[in-house]
Amino acid sequence: MTHDLNRYSRGAIAFHWIIAALVLANYVLVNIAHDLERSAKAVYMDPHKAIGITILVLTVLRIIWRLTHKRPDVAHGVKPWEAMLAKTAHSLFYILLIAIPLTGWMMVSAYGSSGVDWFGIFEIPALPVEESRDVGGQLHDIHEIIGKAMFVLIILHVLGALKHQFFDKLPVLAKMGLGRNV
Ligand code: HEM
């Protein structure tokens, strides 16, 4: 059946793709920065931090949007356990999209940074966490582990969507604005 209730709202679609693009950019930046010397690293890590904070703010707005807008029904033909799995993944995404940038921000604050420079436009203040290399190191570990865990989740999420679209022939991509509901 074709009707607009089968599609997320324009706002939800915009949040989804903008956040997805920023998250991917952040993985690319941190991977390029990985093996570089300290000064060269900053060229990639400064935007990593600024993009990360942007993701945090957008995710808070996205959650508010989600709570205040109608969502489409689960595509007809998706099995209940699959819908459950998808819902669990979506909830995990929201948790990780808050926890990953927050631990990054806490980490640089614990390492003694005065704040996060937002693309040279303004400075986001450091968080009031204990200034200690140990605490910074622990937050670094958590940030890295949950950052990598979300990468796995992204792959599963994409594989799930592609399976429904091309294997089960259910128009799930159209729900998120890719193509038309047929
Ligand atoms: C959704 C947003 C973010 C994602 C997906 C993300 C992802 C990651 C990942 C996967 C790593 C580990 C890379 C590796 O060592 O293999 C990392 C490291 C790091 N991230 Fe983030 N991050 C995000 C936001 C932030 C924010 C907001 C900050 C700081 C304000 C930040 C600061 C750092 C720092 C300082 C490192 C350590 C780099 C190093 O080991 O030299 N990140 N990030």
Tens digit of pLDDT for each residue in 45-72? Answer: 999 999 999 999 999 999 999 999 998 8
Q: With cut-offs at 50, 70 and 90, classify the pLDDT of residue 181.
A: low
Q: Indicate if ligand 1 lies below 6 Å from the C-beta of 108.
A: yes
Q: With cut-offs at 50, 70 and 90, classify the pLDDT of residue 175.
A: very high
| Mutation choice for ligand 1 from 22, 24, 27, 30, CB with most ligand atoms inside 8 A | 30
Whether the pLDDT of residue 18 is over 50: the answer is yes
What is the pLDDT at residue 89? Answer: 95
Report how far ligand 1's centroid is from the alpha carbon of 98 (Å).
13
Of 12-21, 121-130, 169-178, the least confident? 169-178
| Mutation choice for ligand 1 from 143, 145, 154, CB with most ligand atoms inside 8 A | 143
Model pLDDT for residues 32-47, shown as the tens digit of each residue: 999 999 889 999 999 9
Encoding tokens for residue 48? 């990593």
What is the pLDDT at residue 4? Answer: 53
Residue recorded with tokens 């704040």: 115
Per the CB < 8 A criterion, the answer to whether 156 and 96 are in contact is no
- Looking at the domain 4-175, which fold is it? Fumarate Reductase Cytochrome B subunit (1.20.950)
User: What size, in residues, is the chain?
Assistant: 182
What is the pLDDT at residue 5? Answer: 62
pLDDT over 70, % of the chain: 96
Instruction: Give the range with max mean pLDDT: 39-43, 135-139, 163-167.
Output: 135-139
Q: Indicate if ligand 1 lies below 6 Å from the C-beta of 52.
A: yes
What is the pLDDT at residue 44? Answer: 97
Q: Indicate if ligand 1 lies below 6 Å from the C-beta of 78.
A: no
Q: Indicate if ligand 1 lies below 6 Å from the C-beta of 139.
A: no
What's the rounded Cα separation, in Å, for the pair 85 and 91? 10
Per the CB < 8 A criterion, the answer to whether 112 and 131 are in contact is yes
What is the pLDDT at residue 1? Answer: 37
Mean pLDDT across the chain: 93
The full DSSP string for 89-111 is HHHHHHHHHHHHHHHHHHHHHHT
Whether the pLDDT of residue 74 is over 90: the answer is no
DSSP β-ladder status, 115-118 and 122-125: antiparallel
